[in-house]
Amino acid sequence: MKNNMIERYIKETGALIQCPAAEKKAFLSRLREEIGELPQEEIGSVEALYERFGAPQELAQSLMSDGADLEFIKKRTRLRTGILAAVAAVLLIIAAAVVIELIDNHRQSSGYGKEYVVEYYSEPLTGGETER
Amino acid sequence: MSQSQDNFKRGTAELLILYLLQEEELYGYRIIQLFNEKSGGRYTMLEGTLYTILFRLENAGFVSQRVELVGKKRTRRVYNITDSGRKYLETLIREYDEIVAGVDMILDRRGGADLEE
């Protein structure tokens, strides 16, 4: 229970921190250690954790000493996620089309393709019709 | 806490943390307690905020830390000021004095602000 709560807190904080990846990882690791060293009774609930360490937003804001705007960061992250999802979708569609085309080519070159032979017969002329 | 108070604290926190550490090595929660005790409850700080500052100070080489055993199993991190941290503290105190003197002059306060209890 304690570990899950800490991990959720660390994850929420990490999502808001915008700094070099190595620095972010090192800080979150330290934070995990500092909280983890506390006795269970001192941080028994999420409320107690927030009261003592601050909300993830406060913590992230504090680490980013340049006073970065968290709302702006959230919007930028959402936009980036949206763009990535759109690019991924387009790539998926292209990949699917290429695979279908390749399978089709493979079938045709390996004799899987169906051949249709259309034969035309010239019907004999029946009575009543005059040949010119 | 108001935004302006938060800004003031951000500017002075490093100075105060290093000042306390030059007297003795301290663990995080003790620093928070000392802030509270010495300021009569006027200067409080969340533990999370403290660790972000300690993390920055350590990255800059102004603070070091070690893990000590408390009781049989529990451990806790104790922070020390380094030599370069002491020099940095001197610089911060000098800058702080300059700024406060300048602000007092602008506000026409020679003897410091009177604080309500």
**DSSP string for B22-46:** HHS-EEHHHHHHHHHHHTTTSS---
Arithmetic mean of pLDDT over chain A: 81
Indicate the domain borders of chain A.
1-68, 69-113
pLDDT in tens, A85-121: 999 999 999 999 999 999 888 877 776 656 677 777 7
Asked if the C-beta of B46 comes within 8 angstroms of chain A's C-beta atoms, the answer is yes
Domain count, chain B: 1
State yes or no: pLDDT of B117 exceeds 50: no
* pLDDT: which is higher, A64 or B97: B97
Domain that holds residue B13: 3-106
Asked whether residue B113 is assigned to any structural domain, the reply reads no
Q: Does A30 touch chain B (CB under 8 A)?
A: yes
Average pLDDT over residues A34-42: 84
- Residue with tokens 């922070």, as numbered in its chain: B79
Angle at alpha carbon of residue A6, lines to B27 and A9, rounded to 5°: 105
What pLDDT was estimated at residue A72? 60
Give me the pLDDT at residue A76, please: 67
Residue B115 lies in a domain: no
> pTM of this prediction?
0.67
The stretch A34-61 carries a mean pLDDT of 87
- B111 domain residue, yes or no: no
Q: What is the CATH number of the domain that holds B47?
A: 1.10.10.10
How far is it, in rounded angstroms, from Cα B8 to Cα A58? 15
A34, A52, A65 member nearest B77 (Cβ): A34
∠ CA A65-A29-B35, rounded to 5°: 55
CA of A53 vs chain B CAs: smallest distance (Å):
4
For residue B112, is it within any domain? Answer: no
ipTM score for this prediction: 0.74
